[in-house]
């Protein structure tokens, strides 16, 4: 028997048109809250009627979603997830979105077609509201902090505190022209919030010209952007980067502009990946225990699956500051 729920089924159950269901599930237009609630309630009723939690656990397929594999931190996390899943008798399916936002309908199709029992999100490639609705069907865990009112689970470090540690360290070195580099994201900007607060507490004026927010993660594009940045801001004395790979790109761009590391410019990364130890100079970075995050993500998700628990859970992993040659 085919238990797949169709849009017509949802429309009939909610008493609305198929086109209205489609627009709501894909988030393409503004619909009044009463209609949205009717549609989601109808979906949940239909899902409860066709969904057997014992089968979901028996499927043992975990969907791991990331934007692409250019983000070095995700490699270690995925390895830990895969190893933990195998130890507990589960299978990992990796989905690359190529930086595209997924709609509810697309995520729902992946859950059904791949017999997915739970989802781990490494790069936020769907709106939080969409993930909250999917979390009513299967457990969803995200690998970073989410807003306090968000109803999905996460495992990660206190990003705001970690980034503030970096900023305060630079202030202690009497660095005052501090730039930040982090590509656009779909979640709260912990790095920017920490940066602004550090400057305010130190009495240093905030200069938006020192904020670099490229709209993609292409290293060649970011390298060109940084080269122009250092050329037009010769007085910059520090740069905080979202990860170690971007820190390496920043080091090379600074050198092309005849800036010495760290005498003229201190460069800081994030993640303490292998790059931070094999480059010259070695990169000062924050170790956020990527192996622990991956293992904890997988174990927590499986625990929720086996208990049929869709309630949100928040698990924090400690971070450590590793000072090396780049500062």
Tell me the per-residue pLDDT of 1-14, one tens digit each, with 9 for 90 and over: 345 567 778 888 88
CB 17 within 8 A of CB 7: no
pTM of the model: 0.75
> Rounded distance, CA 180 to CA 174, Å?
17
User: Would you say residue 53 has pLDDT above 50?
Assistant: no
Across the range 2-31, mean pLDDT stands at 72
Residue from 290, 237, 248, 311 nearest 81 by CA: 290
pLDDT (tens digit, 9 = 90+) per residue, 114-124? 889 999 998 76
pLDDT value, residue 204: 95
Query: Are the C-beta atoms of residues 92 and 62 closer than 8 Å to each other?
Result: yes
Residue 54 has pLDDT above 50, yes or no: no
The DSSP letter of residue 283 is P
Query: Above 50 in pLDDT, residue 186?
Result: no
- pLDDT mean over 91-100: 84
Q: Please tell me if the domain spanning 52-157+292-317 has the same topology as the one spanning 159-287.
A: yes
Q: Which of 38-42, 236-240, 249-253 has the lowest mean pLDDT?
A: 38-42
Residue 63 has pLDDT above 90, yes or no: yes
Beta carbons within 8 Å of 77's beta carbon, 6+ residues apart: 122, 143, 290, 293, 294, 297
57 pLDDT higher than 70: no
Share of the chain above pLDDT 90, in %: 49
Domains of the chain, by residue range, sit at: 52-157+292-317, 159-287
Q: What is the pLDDT of residue 25?
A: 67
pLDDT level of residue 101 (50, 70, 90 thresholds): confident
Residue range 253-307, pLDDT digits in tens: 999 999 999 999 999 999 898 899 999 999 999 998 899 999 999 999 999 999 9
**Residue 177 pLDDT > 70:** yes
**In CATH, which superfamily holds the domain spanning 52-157+292-317?**
Response regulator (3.40.50.2300)
% of residues, the chain, pLDDT over 70: 88
**264 touches 238 (CB < 8 A):** no
**Would the pLDDT of 113 be above 50?**
yes
The answer, yes or no, to whether residue 104 has pLDDT greater than 90, is no
DSSP conformation class of 56: H
pLDDT reading at 150 higher than 90 = no
Question: What is the pLDDT at residue 47?
Answer: 63
Taking the C-alpha atoms of residue 173 and residue 176, their distance in angstroms, rounded to an integer, is 9
pLDDT tens for each residue of 297-326: 999 999 999 998 999 999 999 999 999 999
Whether 148 shows a pLDDT value over 80: the answer reads: no
**Cβ atoms of residues 20 and 31 within 8 Å:** yes
User: Which class would CATH give 159-287?
Assistant: alpha beta
Q: What is the rounded average pLDDT for all residues in the chain?
A: 85
Distances (CA, A) of 68 to 59, 96, 214, 216, 226: 26, 5, 16, 11, 22
**What's residue 2's pLDDT?**
41
Cis peptide, bond prior to residue 171, ω within 30 of zero: no
Contact present, 167 and 240 (Cβ < 8 Å): yes
């Amino acid at each position: 028997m085919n238990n797949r729920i169709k849009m017509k089924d949802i429309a009939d159950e909610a008493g609305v048109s198929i086109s209205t269901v489609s627009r709501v599930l894909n988030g393409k237009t503004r619909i009044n809250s009463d209609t949205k609630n009717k549609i989601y309630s109808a979906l949940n009723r239909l899902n409860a009627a066709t969904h057997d939690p014992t089968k979901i656990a028996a499927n043992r397929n975990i969907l791991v979603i990331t934007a692409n594999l250019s983000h070095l931190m995700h490699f270690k996390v995925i390895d830990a997830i895969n190893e933990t899943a195998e130890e507990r008798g589960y299978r990992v399916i990796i989905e690359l979105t190529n930086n595209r936002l997924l709609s509810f309908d697309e995520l729902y199709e992946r859950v059904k077609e791949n017999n997915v029992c739970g989802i781990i999100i490494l790069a936020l490639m769907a709106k939080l509201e969409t993930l909250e609705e999917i979390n009513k069907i299967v457990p969803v865990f995200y690998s970073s902090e989410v807003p306090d009112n968000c109803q999905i689970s996460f495992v990660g470090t206190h990003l705001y505190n970690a980034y503030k540690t970096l900023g305060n360290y630079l202030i202690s070195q009497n660095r005052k022209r501090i730039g930040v580099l982090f590509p656009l994201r779909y979640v709260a900007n912990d790095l920017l919030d920490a940066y602004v607060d550090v400057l305010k507490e130190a009495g240093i004026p905030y200069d938006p010209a020192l904020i670099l927010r490229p709209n993609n993660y292409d290293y060649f594009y970011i390298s060109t952007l940084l080269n122009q940045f250092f050329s037009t801001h010769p007085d910059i004395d520090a740069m905080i980067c979202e990860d170690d790979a971007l820190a390496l790109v920043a080091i090379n761009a600074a050198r092309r502009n005849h800036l010495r590391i760290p005498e003229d410019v201190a460069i800081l990364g994030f993640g303490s990946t292998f790059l931070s130890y094999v480059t010259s100079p070695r990169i000062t970075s924050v170790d956020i225990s990527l192996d622990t995050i991956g293992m904890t993500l997988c174990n927590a998700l499986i625990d929720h699956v086996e208990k049929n628990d869709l309630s949100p859970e928040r698990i924090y992993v400690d971070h450590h500051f590793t000072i090396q040659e780049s500062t």
